[in-house]
């Protein structure tokens, strides 16, 4: 009798776990993903533009499958218990209050599950954190409330002050409001880029979701991270450490261009105007404000 | 005052009203009675909950649509965010769970006539309104050039809390939190002494009810964690004085990240301080309404001890993005995952307690069952966030907001309501109307899920926390979340209708043990409400008694 109940309860729980997997596979983990921008009403990660974000997405998916399975399993057990052992169905309660085997099992099995999670998670962490040989370095300095970018290896490129575009300017430029800036930081594609992050006053955090990076800008400390964008385009992020009244209004905009274009941009002292004719000044480099 | 065996003892008063109680003012303002102080704590928690709830409701209304609706001064929004966190944590959850239920039931459950230090108990309580008044004053005094109040979030990181808020608003918060800290430390000393020294004859630690265990572990966490917060706050205080210290100022050789380490060394145990008493309450409710003793009692008790111990060595998982050494992050990743094991033991032990039971779905049981399920949901997203690599994406997004509201707003708060309905008759001598209570439960349950589940989606899609305005890609799920705030508000309204009906209009009296067979702890041997001074003759716990 007892073993029959156990089998039914486990069956219910496992069926629910499987249902949760189906929901995840066809809905939860196949939602629309924005590349460099949030997806419209999306419910999944932004799309990946770096190898680190590829791995991050894989670890996220793995862990989501595991934890959804656990939630569904617990829900299934609870549902079964609530129906089978309600007062009407089971008027005389048992007095069992110990079962060594069970207690050992629900200690050991979670440990095994955690090991399954920890291994890919550690791999991701070390891949993300250990900085590869980098060819390009950019320095992002958080300010209240904008980002300033410099190229330590190219003194001819002036400091880029990246201010947010207001609502009308964003519309004119055809860019998303609260994400768009008047001057993006420019990096080459398929290149390891080192990012130095610091701040000159309050703390900020330099974030690009599609690159899978987030690094706090702390005054007095220069933090390092890196990314390798594998496609061209514009990628947005938003300041992710509370920094005062305009915390919501100091976005990050990264423009990834081809290596040749990047070389021309550098040679041209940080300007696209000769190489990309149809690019308006808003998309250009650091001198845009002065050029306007 | 403990009556020794053989000594002449006064006749056991048969009800709450038989015993000589002081007049109104002396009773409620000079109170040294653990039950009266517990009631004061609960009233205080309800008032703070209303204030904190109002702040969060305004935040949800602001975020219902893209664009700035109400907070034309965005600084004011950040003030609401900061104060919501501080008030809910320090002035709602902690007073209700530890001060309220702890004071009411720990002495009774261990068979003691009162707390060990009744006058210190009075001090513990009255420091709290003082502290709350300091926090409320900070709303209306200058914070920085942008307006009144402190808008640096409950984490209070410098330099935003030093040079970023030069006005007196943050000084009031520091003073308020220091007062709150002393209140909690005194309370913790009181609970530890009571539990270790004043248990009734035969009440060994291994026979002690799990709620008393949970408060014992919580009290140790308070005692060890709060002095660190006090030190960090005091360092901020001296840093803020012109020409003062420079602990966190890099220009003077200080380190802003040191504050984060100090803060989270307090802050992570703090989250267990808020949840462990709820674990204790839920254990009693599950056992009572399954009519079964708790499954794996020792495992349950020591799981809480394990959570408390490990809770002290995982703090930097709140700081994965500050630029820590990768090996350090790997350690905190591993240590954080370990906490899932004792937590899992508790969840499965609750399920096993129900297994084979004869389950009654009373109001407190509904809250407890919802607690178990929602705590699992919040707990597993904690496993996700423990992954330092994935956290580089999710840190400071709404995924984190969803996670900690699932474990606090649905964990700790559901634990509070579960305990409130479980002991309602015991504390006030009257029974609630179960239809009003059921409306409260269902509206609240649906409401908070509608608020917080979509916030996972917002976080995954990349929406950062503490934003007064957001790109319109986030519009739908924010709108859904804000509808949830209305549903929750309706639930809260039913809570107050329930209180008015039960305490003022109807006053339906209840017996000593109105839950019947499953309720086995000592409070059910006393009248409802218990006599003003209980256990004039100490109860004796038999060797074969169940927990």
Contact (CB<8Å) A242/B153: yes
Q: CA-nearest residue of chain B to A144?
A: B164
Lowest mean pLDDT segment, chosen from A121-135, A274-288, B72-86, B458-472: A274-288
Instruction: Quick: pLDDT tens for B355-377.
Output: 999 999 999 999 999 999 999 99
Summarised one tens digit per residue, pLDDT across range B136-177 is: 999 999 999 999 999 999 999 999 999 999 999 999 999 999
* Count of C-beta atoms within a 10 Å radius of residue A251: 23
Interchain CB distance below 8 Å, A128 and B384: no
Q: How many residues does chain A have?
A: 292
Q: In which band, very low, low, confident or very high, does the pLDDT at B378 lie, cut at 50, 70 and 90?
A: very high
Considering the candidates B268, B329, B405, B426, report the single residue annotated as catalytic.
B268
pLDDT grade, residue B240 (50/70/90)?
A: very high
Mean pLDDT of B178-182: 96
Query: What's the mean pLDDT when you consider all of chain B?
Result: 93
**Pick from B329, B352, B457: which is nearest to A129 by CB?**
B329
Is B270 marked active-site? yes
Residue recorded with tokens 């009373």: B362
Classify B140 as helix, strand or coil. Answer: helix
Q: Is the peptide bond before A155 cis (omega within 30 degrees of 0)?
A: no
Higher-pLDDT residue of B207, B541: B207
B126 is catalytic: no
CA pair distance A43, B399, nearest whole angstrom: 11
pLDDT at B508: 87
Sign of CA dihedral B498, B359, B427, B430: positive
The percentage of residues in chain B with a pLDDT greater than 70, rounded to a whole number, is 95
Q: What is the DSSP string of B446-485?
A: HHHHHHHHHHHHHHHTTPBSS-SS--GGGHHHHHHHHHHH
pLDDT digits (tens, 9 = 90+) for B298-315: 999 999 999 999 999 999
Q: How many CA atoms lie within 13 A of B178 on its CB side?
A: 14
Nearest to A37 by CA among A214, A254, A286: A254
β partners of residue A193: A136, A227
pTM of the model: 0.93
Task: Report the top-level CATH class of A136-291.
Answer: mainly beta
In 3D, which of B53, B22, B52, B27 has the Cα closest to residue B39? B27
Q: What share of chain A is helix, strand, coil (3-state, %, to 5)?
A: 40, 20, 40
Q: Which of A36, A71, A210, A248 has the highest number of chain B CBs within 10 A, making it the mutation to test binding with B?
A: A248
Which CATH code of 1.10.3720.10, 1.10.10.10, 1.10.287.90, 1.10.287.180 fits the domain covering A2-129? 1.10.287.90
Interface size, chain A vs chain B, as Cβ–Cβ contacts under 8 Å:
287
Best residue of B260, B323, B398 to probe chain A, by most A CBs closer than 10 Å: B323
Locate B140 and state its tokens: 């209306």
Cα–Cα–Cα angle for B164, B169, B170, rounded to 5 degrees = 60
> Residue A95's pLDDT band (boundaries 50, 70, 90)?
confident
The strand pair at A136-143 and A146-150 is best described as antiparallel
Separation CA B395–CA A214 (nearest Å): 8
- Binning pLDDT at 50, 70 and 90, where does residue B9 land? very low
Find all residues with CB under 8 Å of A275, minimum gap 6, and list them.
A261, A264, A265, A268
Cα→Cα distances B489→B35, B364, B451, B482, B492, Å = 30, 20, 11, 11, 5
Residues of B in contact with A221 (CB under 8 A): 250, 255-257, 323
At residue A44, φ and ψ (nearest 5 deg) are -140, 175
Q: Once rounded to an integer, what is the mean pLDDT over residues A139-161? A: 94
Looking at residue B546, what is its pLDDT? 57
Does the annotation count B272 as an active-site position? yes
Stretch B199-210: mean pLDDT = 94
A276 has pLDDT over 90: no
**Contact between residue B300 and residue B283 where contact means Cβ atoms under 8 Å apart:** yes
Phi/psi-derived region of residue B316, left when phi > 0, alpha when psi is between -120 and 50, beta in every other case: alpha
pLDDT bucket at B18, cuts 50 / 70 / 90: low
| Residue B123 pLDDT class (50, 70, 90 cuts) | very high
> Least CB-CB distance to A94: which of B151, B321, B356?
B356
Of the given ranges (A23-32, A110-119, B32-41, B388-397), which has the lowest mean pLDDT? Answer: A23-32
Across the range B282-292, mean pLDDT stands at 96
Q: Which residue among the candidates B161, B214, B283, B520 is catalytic per the annotation?
A: B283
pLDDT at A292 over 50: no
Residue A104 burial by CB count (10 A; 0-12/13-18/19+): exposed, middle or buried?
A: exposed
Domain boundaries, chain A: 2-129, 136-291
Q: What is the pLDDT of residue B1?
A: 38
Instruction: State the sign of the Cα–Cα–Cα–Cα dihedral B148, B151, B157, B158.
Output: negative
Q: Looking at beta carbons, which residues of chain A come within 8 Å of B453? A: none
Q: Which two tokens stand for residue B95?
A: 């007073």
Q: How many other C-beta atoms are found inside a 10 Å radius of the C-beta of residue B545?
A: 11
pLDDT for B506: 84
Q: Tokens at residue A14, please? A: 């496992």
Residue of B34, B60, B292, B317 marked active site = B317
Calpha distance B14→B21 (Å, rounded): 14
Q: Which helix (H) or strand (E) holds B276?
A: helix B256-290
β-pairing, A185-188 with A233-237?
unpaired
pLDDT of A286 > 80? The answer is: no
Nearest CA in chain B to A99: B296
* φ and ψ at residue B466, rounded to 5 degrees: 60, 40
- Burial grade of B422 (CB within 10 A; 0-12, 13-18, 19 or more): buried
B347/A244 CB distance under 8 A? no
Q: Report residue A22 as tokens.
A: 């189906």
Region A220-242: mean pLDDT is 95
Q: Is B154 a catalytic residue?
A: yes
User: Average pLDDT of chain A?
Assistant: 89
Phi-psi region of B396 (alpha: psi -120 to 50; beta: other; left: phi over 0): left
Q: Tokens 């099995």: give the residue.
A: A109
Is residue B290 among the annotated active site residues?
no
Span of A162-171, B218-227, B537-546 with lowest mean pLDDT: B537-546
Q: What is the ipTM of this complex?
A: 0.92
Q: Which residue has the tokens 């409070």?
A: B523
At residue A45, does pLDDT exceed 90? yes
Yes or no, beta carbons of A106 and B476 under 8 Å apart: no
Chain A residue closest in CA terms to B546: A97
- Distance from chain centroid for Cα A138: 20
Among the listed residues B35, B75, B165, B318, the single catalytic one is B318
Check: CB of residue B432 under 8 Å from CB of residue B528.
no
Quote the Cα angle for B368-B369-B374, to 5°: 95
- Sort out which chain A residues have CB atoms less than 8 A from B462's CB and list them: 38, 46, 209, 237-238
Nearest to B181 by CA among B245, B246, B233, B236: B233
pLDDT tens-digit readout, B393-446: 999 999 999 999 999 989 999 999 999 999 999 999 999 999 999 999 999 999
Percent of chain B with pLDDT over 90: 88
What confidence tier does A208 reach under pLDDT thresholds 50, 70, 90? very high
A65 touches chain B (CB under 8 A): no
Asked whether the beta carbons of B39 and B45 are under 8 A apart, the reply is: no
Specify the residue for token string 């599609």: A210
Q: Do A215 and B333 touch (CB under 8 A)?
A: no
- Residue B392 and residue A63: Cβ atoms within 8 Å? no
> What's the pLDDT at B243?
80
A85·B473 Cβ contact <8 A: no
pLDDT at B45 over 50: yes
In this structure, how many other beta carbons lie within 10 angstroms of the beta carbon of residue B34?
26
CB–CB of B290/A93 below 8 Å? yes
Spatial distance between the Cα atoms of B451 and B61, rounded to a whole number of angstroms: 12
- DSSP result, B53-102: HHHHHHHHHHHTSSS-SS-SSHHHHHHHHHHHHHIIIIIIIHIIIIIIII
User: B143 is written with which tokens?
Assistant: 């914070």
Query: Is A244 in contact with B78 (Cβ distance < 8 A)?
Result: yes
Asked whether the beta carbons of B359 and A86 are under 8 A apart, the reply is: yes
């Amino acid at each position: 009798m007892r073993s029959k109940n156990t089998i039914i309860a486990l069956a219910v729980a496992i069926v629910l776990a499987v249902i949760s997997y189906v929901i995840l596979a066809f809905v939860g983990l196949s939602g629309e993903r924005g590349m460099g921008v949030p997806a419209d009403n999306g419910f999944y990660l932004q799309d990946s533009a770096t190898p680190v974000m590829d791995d991050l997405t894989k670890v996220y998916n793995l862990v989501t499958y595991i934890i959804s399975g656990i939630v569904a399993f617990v829900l299934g057990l609870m549902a079964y218990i609530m129906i089978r052992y309600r007062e009407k169905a089971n008027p005389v309660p048992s007095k069992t209050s110990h079962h060594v085997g069970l207690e050992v099992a629900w200690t050991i099995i979670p440990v095994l599950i955690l090991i399954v999670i920890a291994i890919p998670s550690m791999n991701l962490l070390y891949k993300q954190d250990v900085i590869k040989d980098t060819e390009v370095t950019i320095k992002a300095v958080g300010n209240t409330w904008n980002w300033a970018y410099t190229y330590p290896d190219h003194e001819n490129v002036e400091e880029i002050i990246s201010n947010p575009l207001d609502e009308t300017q964003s519309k004119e430029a055809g860019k998303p409001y609260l994400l768009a800036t008047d001057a993006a930081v420019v990096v080459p594609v398929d290149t390891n880029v080192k990012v130095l992050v610091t701040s000159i006053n309050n703390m900020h955090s330099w974030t690009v979701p599609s690159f899978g990076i987030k690094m706090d800008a702390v005054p007095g400390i220069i933090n390092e991270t890196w990314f390798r964008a594998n496609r061209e385009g514009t990628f947005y992020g938003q300041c992710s450490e509370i920094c005062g009244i305009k915390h919501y209004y100091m976005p990050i905009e990264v423009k990834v261009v081809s290596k040749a274009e990047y070389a021309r941009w550098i040679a041209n002292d940080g300007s696209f105007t000769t190489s990309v004719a149809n690019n308006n000044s808003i998309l250009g480099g650091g001198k845009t404000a002065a050029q306007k | 005052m403990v009556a020794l065996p053989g000594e002449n003892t006064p006749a056991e008063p048969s009800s709450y009203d038989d015993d000589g109680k002081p007049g109104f003012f002396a009773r409620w303002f000079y109170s040294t009675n653990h039950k009266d102080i517990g009631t004061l704590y609960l009233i205080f928690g309800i008032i703070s909950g209303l204030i904190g709830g109002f702040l969060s409701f305004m935040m949800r209304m602001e975020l219902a649509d893209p664009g700035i609706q109400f907070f034309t001064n965005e600084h004011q929004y950040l003030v609401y965010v900061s104060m919501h966190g501080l008030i809910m944590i320090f002035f709602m959850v902690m007073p209700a769970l530890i001060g309220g239920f702890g004071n009411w039931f720990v002495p009774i459950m261990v068979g003691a006539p009162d707390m060990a230090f009744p006058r210190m108990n009075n001090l513990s309580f009255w420091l709290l309104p003082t502290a709350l008044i300091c926090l409320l004053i900070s709303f209306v005094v200058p914070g920085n050039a942008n307006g009144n109040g402190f808008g640096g979030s409950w984490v209070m990181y410098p330099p935003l809390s030093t040079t970023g808020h030069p006005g007196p608003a943050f000084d009031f918060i520091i003073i308020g939190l220091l007062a709150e800290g002393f209140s909690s430390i005194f309370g913790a000393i009181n609970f530890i002494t009571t539990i270790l020294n004043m248990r009734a004859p035969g009440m060994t630690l291994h026979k002690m009810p799990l709620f008393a265990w949970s408060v014992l572990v919580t009290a140790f966490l308070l005692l060890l964690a709060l002095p660190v917060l006090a030190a960090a706050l005091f360092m901020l205080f001296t840093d803020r004085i012109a020409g003062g210290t420079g602990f966190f100022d890099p220009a003077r050789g200080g380190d802003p990240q040191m504050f984060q380490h100090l803060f989270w060394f307090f802050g992570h145990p703090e989250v267990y301080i808020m949840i462990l008493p709820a674990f204790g309450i839920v254990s009693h409710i599950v056992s009572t309404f399954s009519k079964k003793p708790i499954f794996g009692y020792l495992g349950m008790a020591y799981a809480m001890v394990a959570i408390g111990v490990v809770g002290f060595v995982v703090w930097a998982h709140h700081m994965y993005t500050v630029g820590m050494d990768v090996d350090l992050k790997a350690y905190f990743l591993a240590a954080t995952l370990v906490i899932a094991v004792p937590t899992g033991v508790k969840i499965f032990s609750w399920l096993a307690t129900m297994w084979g039971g004869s389950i009654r779905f009373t109001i407190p049981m509904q809250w407890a069952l919802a607690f178990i399920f929602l705590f699992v949901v919040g707990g597993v997203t904690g496993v996700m966030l423990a992954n330092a690599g994935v956290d580089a994406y999710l840190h400071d997004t709404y995924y984190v907001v969803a996670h900690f509201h699932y474990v606090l707003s649905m964990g700790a708060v559901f634990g509070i309501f579960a305990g409130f309905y479980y002991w309602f008759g015991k504390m006030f001598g009257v029974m609630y109307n179960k239809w009003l209570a059921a409306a409260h439960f269902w509206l609240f349950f649906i409401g908070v899920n509608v608020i917080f589940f979509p916030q996972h989606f917002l976080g995954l899609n990349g929406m950062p926390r503490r934003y007064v305005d957001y790109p319109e890609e986030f519009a739908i799920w924010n709108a859904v979340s804000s509808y949830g705030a209305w549903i929750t508000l309706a639930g809260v309204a039913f809570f107050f209708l329930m209180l008015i009906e039960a305490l003022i209009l109807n006053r339906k009296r209840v017996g000593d043990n109105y839950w019947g067979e499953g309720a086995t702890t000592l409070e059910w041997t006393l009248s409802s409400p218990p006599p003003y001074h209980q256990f004039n003759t100490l109860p004796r716990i038999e060797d074969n008694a169940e927990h």
